[in-house]
Amino acid sequence: MRELETDVAIIGAGSAGLNARREVERAGKHWLLIEGGAYGTGCARTGCMPSKLLIAAANAARSARRAELFGVRIAASDIRIDGRAVLERVRRERDRFVQLVNAAVEALPREQRLHGYARFVSANTLDVGGHTRVHAKAVVIASGSRPVVPALLQPLGAALLTSDNLFELPDLPESVAVFGSGAIGLELGQALHALGTRVTFFNPNDVLGPFSDPLLSERFRALLASEFDLRLGVTGLDVQVQPDGVLVRHRDRAGREQQSRFARVLAAVGREPASAALNLAASGLALDARGLPSCDPRSMQCADAPIFLAGDAVGERALLHEAVDEGCLAGANAARFPQLQSIVRRVPLLIAFSQPQLAMLGASFREAAQSDCVIGHSSYDDQGRARVQAENHGEVRVYVDRASTRLLGAELYGPEVEHTAHLLAWMVQAKLPLSEVLHMPVYHPTLEEGIRSALRDAGSQLGLLRGCAPPDRGEGPGS
Ligand SMILES: Cc1cc2nc3c(=O)[nH]c(=O)nc-3n(C[C@H](O)[C@H](O)[C@H](O)COP(=O)(O)OP(=O)(O)OC[C@H]3O[C@@H](n4cnc5c(N)ncnc54)[C@H](O)[C@@H]3O)c2cc1C
C-alpha cells in the first residue's frame, strides 16, 4: 500500500471539493483531491444542468401549445415531441458542461489526484480504494449526496428512475408515477408532463412544494391541481412490477382503493449525504442518528477536529451556490487550521424551476412568524405584465420586521420569480429599511411591479407609504 502525506485531503471532486482545493492552493498548502466516481460534478452531470436542459425543452413545448392564445395559429396536430431528440440534446449539452469541468480537473497535477473511494481509518488517516493510505493534517469531506430511494420502491429494478438515471433514457417514458412533490419532483415531473408523458404525483404527506406559508401552499396546490393528477395525503401506497410497467395501488383521502399503471416510477423524495462508504465512525466525530457529524455553518468545522464538511455532504442547504461557498470556507479553514475564520453566511435563497416558478428566501414564513412581523401580499392575477404574457398566476408574501421595518424574507410563486426572488434576497441581505426599498426605481410594465405591490402592502400596514413615493411616480395600469 502506498503512503502519502498532505496538508489537506479533500474527499470528493464535485463543486464543493473543487472550490475547497482552490482555497488550499491559494493558501500555499499541499492538497490531495480524492474522487471515487467520475469527474464532472453532480451539478453538471445529474443535477442543475441536465434538469434545466429538460425544462428548457418543456418550455419550448409549452410555448408552442400556448401560441394559439396570442393568435399565432399552430395546429395542435403539428406539435410533435420527439422524445429521443429531446434527450439527445439534454445529453449533448450536459456532456459539454461535464467536459468543461473534466478539462479543468485533468489540468491539475496528476500526482495530487487520487482515484478511489476514501474511508476514514482515524481522524487524520484515510484509506483510498484499498491502494493508498493518506495522512492529512486536515480533511475536507465534500462527498455530495444521493437520491433517497424508499424501501417500497427498491424492488422496482429497471422501472425505477431517479435523477441519476432519468437523463440516460433513450426516449421519454409514456407515463411516470412521481413519488415526492418537493422542488426536484416538481421540476422533473412537470417537465415530463409538458413533453407528453402522463404524470401522476404521489405523496403520503399532504403537501406540495416546499412552502412554509400556509396561504401560498394552499393556492399553489390548487393551481397545480387544475392541471395535474395529484395524489397527496394518500395511504397504503404499494407498487408491483408487471410485464408492461408498474402497478401503483393506494387508498385516496376518502379511503377508497385506487390503482393505476405506469411505465416508470420516479423517486424524488429527497436526497441524503453520501456518507455510507466514509466509515465516519473511525473519524472520532460524534455522529447523529443518521450517522452524520454536524458542523458549524460559519466555519464548516466539525466539533474541534481538523475535519470540515462542505456541500451536499452537510445535509442542510443542498444547493449549488451553497456548495461553492461551503467548499471555499472549508478549504480555507482546513488550510489554516487551527486558526479558523468564521463568516456570516449569505441569505438563504431557494428557487425551483417549476411551472410557475417558486422561491423562498431569507426567513421563511415559519421563522418570521416567531417574531412581530407584518405580511405584505400581492397577487399576479391582475398584474399588468403577467397578464400581457398570459402568465397571471402567482402570489408574493413578504415578511417585514415591525420594529426595524426590514424585510426578513419572502415566499413566492409566479412568472419568472427566479429574477424577482434575487432582488428580494439582496434587499434582505442589505438589511434595507422598507422606506428605502420603496424608493427604489421600478420600471413599467414589468414583473418586478408584482413584488413592489407586496412591499407596498407591507409599507401601508406600517404607515410608511405617505410621502415615501417620489412625486413624479404614478401607478401604471395593472402594476
Ligand atoms: C435533479 C437535480 C437538480 C438540481 N438543480 C439545482 C438547481 O437548479 N440549482 C441549485 O443550486 N442546485 C441544484 N441541485 C443541487 C446541486 O446539484 C448540488 O447541491 C451540488 O451539485 C452539490 O455539490 P457537491 O460538491 O456537494 O456534490 P457533488 O458535485 O455530487 O460531488 C461529490 C463528489 O464526491 C464523490 N464521492 C462521494 N463519496 C466519496 C468517497 N467516499 N470518496 C471519494 N469520493 C467520493 C462523488 O463521486 C462526487 O463526485 C440539483 C440537484 C439535483 C439532483
Mean per-residue pLDDT over the chain, rounded: 95
State if residue 311 touches ligand 1 by the CB under 6 angstroms criterion.
yes
Q: How confident is the model at residue 471 (pLDDT cuts 50, 70, 90)?
A: very low
- The number of the ligand 1 atom at minimal distance from the alpha carbon of 310 is 26
Ligand 1 center to residue 271 CA distance, Å? 10
- The number of the ligand 1 atom at minimal distance from the alpha carbon of 311 is 26
pLDDT at 468 over 70: no
Distances (CA, A) of 179 to 82, 208, 312: 25, 11, 21
Q: Which cell numbers in the block locate residue 27?
A: 493558501
Most distant CA pair in the chain, distance: 77
Bridge-based pairing of strands 31-35 and 113-115 is parallel
- The number of the ligand 1 atom at minimal distance from the alpha carbon of 319 is 19
State if residue 331 touches ligand 1 by the CB under 6 angstroms criterion.
no
State if residue 318 touches ligand 1 by the CB under 6 angstroms criterion.
yes
Tens digit of pLDDT for each residue in 351-407? 999 999 999 999 999 999 999 999 999 999 999 999 999 999 999 999 999 999 999
Residue with CA closest to ligand 1 atom 1: 47
| Pairwise CA distance, residues 30 & 112, whole Å | 9
State if residue 278 touches ligand 1 by the CB under 6 angstroms criterion.
yes
State if residue 61 touches ligand 1 by the CB under 6 angstroms criterion.
no
Kindly report the backbone phi and psi dihedral angles of residue 262, in degrees, each rounded to the nearest multiple of 5, phi listed first: -135, 150
Q: Which cell numbers in the block locate residue 322?
A: 451553497
Mutation to probe ligand 1, out of 43, 49, 349 (largest number of atoms < 8 A from CB)? 43
Ligand 1 center to residue 97 CA distance, Å? 14
DSSP string for 418-458:
HHHHHHHHHHHHTT-BHHHHTTS---TT-THHHHHHHHHHH
Q: Give pLDDT, residue 253.
A: 86
Q: Is the dihedral of CA 382, 387, 391, 396 positive or negative?
A: negative
- The number of the ligand 1 atom at minimal distance from the alpha carbon of 118 is 42
Q: Which cell numbers in the block locate residue 466?
A: 405617505
pLDDT at 146 over 70: yes
Residue entry with cell 422606506? 435
Residue with CA closest to ligand 1 atom 52: 47
Q: How many CB atoms lie within 10 A of CB 130?
A: 10
State if residue 399 touches ligand 1 by the CB under 6 angstroms criterion.
no
Q: Which cell numbers in the block locate residue 307?
A: 475535519
State if residue 274 touches ligand 1 by the CB under 6 angstroms criterion.
yes
- The number of the ligand 1 atom at minimal distance from the alpha carbon of 34 is 43
What predicted TM-score, i.e. pTM, was given to this entire model?
Answer: 0.96
Ligand 1 center to residue 42 CA distance, Å? 4
Q: How confident is the model at residue 334 (pLDDT cuts 50, 70, 90)?
A: very high
- The number of the ligand 1 atom at minimal distance from the alpha carbon of 312 is 26
| Pairwise CA distance, residues 153 & 149, whole Å | 6
Ligand 1 center to residue 341 CA distance, Å? 25
Q: Give pLDDT, residue 205.
A: 92
Crossing angle of helices 183-194/48-66, nearest 10°? 40
State if residue 51 touches ligand 1 by the CB under 6 angstroms criterion.
yes
Mutation to probe ligand 1, out of 33, 184, 312, 350 (largest number of atoms < 8 A from CB)? 312
Ligand 1 center to residue 351 CA distance, Å? 17
Bridge partners (DSSP) of residue 251 are 235, 257
Mean pLDDT over 299-311 rounds to 97
Residue with CA closest to ligand 1 atom 38: 143
Residue with CA closest to ligand 1 atom 31: 14
- The number of the ligand 1 atom at minimal distance from the alpha carbon of 37 is 47
State if residue 15 touches ligand 1 by the CB under 6 angstroms criterion.
yes
What is the enclosing helix (H) or strand (E) of 220?
Answer: helix 214-225
pLDDT at 473 over 50: no
Tens digit of pLDDT for each residue in 424-437? 999 999 999 999 99
Q: Give pLDDT, residue 254.
A: 87
State if residue 285 touches ligand 1 by the CB under 6 angstroms criterion.
no
Kindly report the backbone phi and psi dihedral angles of residue 21, in degrees, each rounded to the nearest multiple of 5, phi listed first: -55, -45
State if residue 321 touches ligand 1 by the CB under 6 angstroms criterion.
yes
Tens digit of pLDDT for each residue in 189-222? 999 999 999 999 999 999 999 999 999 999 999 9
State if residue 190 touches ligand 1 by the CB under 6 angstroms criterion.
no
| Pairwise CA distance, residues 398 & 377, whole Å | 7
